[in-house]
Amino acid sequence: MRKLGISFVLGLVAVVSAGPLAAQSPAPVTLVKAGRLLDPRTGSVLSPAAVLMEDGKIKEVGPPSQLQAAAPAGVKIIDLGSATLLPGLIDGHTHLFMDIVVLPEVEQDRHSNGLFAPELLLAIVESPSKRTLLGAQMAREDLESGITTVRNLGHSGIDGDSELRDAINAGRVPGARVLASGRKLETRGETYVQNLNPALAASILQQEFLLFDSADQARQAVRQNVFHNVDVIKVTAEENLTIPELAAAIEEAHRNHLKVAVHAIDKTSIQTAIDSGADSIEHGNDATDQQLRQMRDKGIYLDLTPTFYGGGYLKFAEPVIVIPPAARAERLSSAARSKQRYDQLVQRVLKSGVKYAAGSDMCWFYPGKTRGQSSTATFVNLRQAGMPSLDVIRSITTNAAEMLGWQDRVGAIEPGKFADLVAVAGDPIADITELERVRFVMKNGEVVRNDFASH
Ligand SMILES: [Zn+2]
């Protein structure tokens, strides 16, 4: 859309390849029946419920008797028994192209050259082809757990996420719908991969980041991402970043009809993001009450990422490395302190009236779990942090859709939206961990998973 010439050429390619891809088209008309349907927007439950779908879109929602009577002959009926239907889940912040194995602390200390290094460095210097296949696996595992849409915010090489998005949309590989950010914009001083070989540093870093030192360079960086047809712009705000630089990036992104997600954790960076007119603030852990009010007044989304809530490091590390008892005790007490702060943040967010959504920020290898299982477990952390179940569900459906600017496409089971549905066996309001056990997944009207079928 933004590059008419190229879209036109791609359009021709799509026509030429319509034959082989047509085999993956959904059945023209499908009716899904279930005991209950939860509408996250209102919290109301339709029971029993049915959803009629045509050509990958939702056509009608209502009582099964009514929809079945109106359905055309030959409609494909999927009966999920007493299950509860929900909209397909949305992960507002993820990293499909990283699967970091945490290192023992002693090794982290010895290689201390910036956050996540050398784990992050490894991701950059490995073969981009290998990395692309990893991204495809993560997108498939997310989908199998009911995450039908993800916003991938950086760490994908130059074009990994936009290419994966296109491959999924073309039916080449299964996976969640991807909103791709391309490379993450950062000021040079903020790059957290440090102590690189000076002879190679620039060429290594440009595989992963778009570095800028001025407002003009920030605009150029946005345009470079636009060239790779991204869906969203990601900027990292730390104390170096100035308001004119970030505002320039945001203006250029908005000119291209792209929203800007700004990573900001400390108070100063959050203020820079607010004053520059960010569309969403990612993480936002240190936001003050006043900042939450400013965000509410400006309509800026807070994208909560409770990845390490309750001691993420231990969860990711314990099954694969030996942690000395003293280090373990220290990790546990620091997890308890940060849990307390996060519980307070969630309460302050709910009280402030700021708009919020949630993202897994998952980029970690979580032993014993698929990427989808580790991401949904992160959403459930919000309930542990005191957020009511319905609000947790909103933060990964209706709210997330609006944060993405995709409220007309995803996030609710409503006529006209993509036929993205999930179902769980129990009541997710009574037990939010049902979200970790999604048993039916439909994306675009196609069944991805149906564990109810064998019963
Ligand atoms: Zn992130």
Check: CB of residue 98 under 8 Å from CB of residue 155: yes
Of the ranges 105-114, 229-238, 239-248, 294-303, which one carries the lowest mean pLDDT score? 105-114
| Sheet (strand 45-46) strand order | 45-46, 36-38, 84-87, 421-424, 440-443, 446-450
CA of 305 to the centre of ligand 1 (A): 8
pLDDT, position 316: 87
Query: End-to-end alpha-carbon separation of the chain, Å?
Result: 45
pLDDT for res 116? 55
Alpha-helix residue ranges (DSSP H) falling in 306-441: 312-317, 325-352, 371-384, 389-395, 398-404
Mean pLDDT of 223-244: 96
How much distance in Å is there from the Cα of 155 to the middle of ligand 1?
9
Residues 71/63, Cβ–Cβ less than 8 Å: no
What separation in Å is there between the alpha carbon of 234 and the centre of ligand 1?
10
- pLDDT grade, residue 8 (50/70/90)? very low
Q: How far apart are CA 342 and CA 337, in angstroms?
A: 9
Q: Look up residue 154 and give its DSSP letter.
A: S
Q: What is the mean pLDDT of the chain?
A: 91
Tokens in use for 80? 């999920």
- What separation in Å is there between the alpha carbon of 149 and the centre of ligand 1? 16
Task: Calculate how far, in angstroms, residue 95's C-alpha sits from the geometric centre of ligand 1.
Answer: 7
The reported pLDDT for the residue numbered 3 is 41
Task: Give the residue with greater pLDDT, 6 vs 337.
Answer: 337
Q: Is the pLDDT of residue 1 over 80?
A: no
Q: Say yes or no to pLDDT of 393 above 70.
A: yes
pLDDT-derived band at 130, boundaries 50, 70, 90: very high
pTM to 2 decimals? Answer: 0.93
* pLDDT value at 10 more than 70: no
| pLDDT at residue number 15 | 39
Question: How high is the pLDDT of residue 118?
Answer: 66
Cα 211 to middle of ligand 1, angstroms: 17
Separation of 153 CA from ligand 1 center, angstroms?
Answer: 6
Q: With a cut of 70, say whether residue 154 has pLDDT above it.
A: yes
Q: Mean pLDDT throughout 410-435?
A: 98
Torsional class of 28: left (φ above 0), alpha (ψ -120 to 50), beta (otherwise): alpha
Q: How many angstroms separate the alpha carbon of residue 357 from the centre of ligand 1?
A: 14
For 307-355, the pLDDT digits (tens) are 999 888 888 888 888 888 998 999 999 999 999 999 999 999 999 999 9
Whether pLDDT at 297 is above 50: yes
Rounded to an integer, the average pLDDT of 419-444 is 98
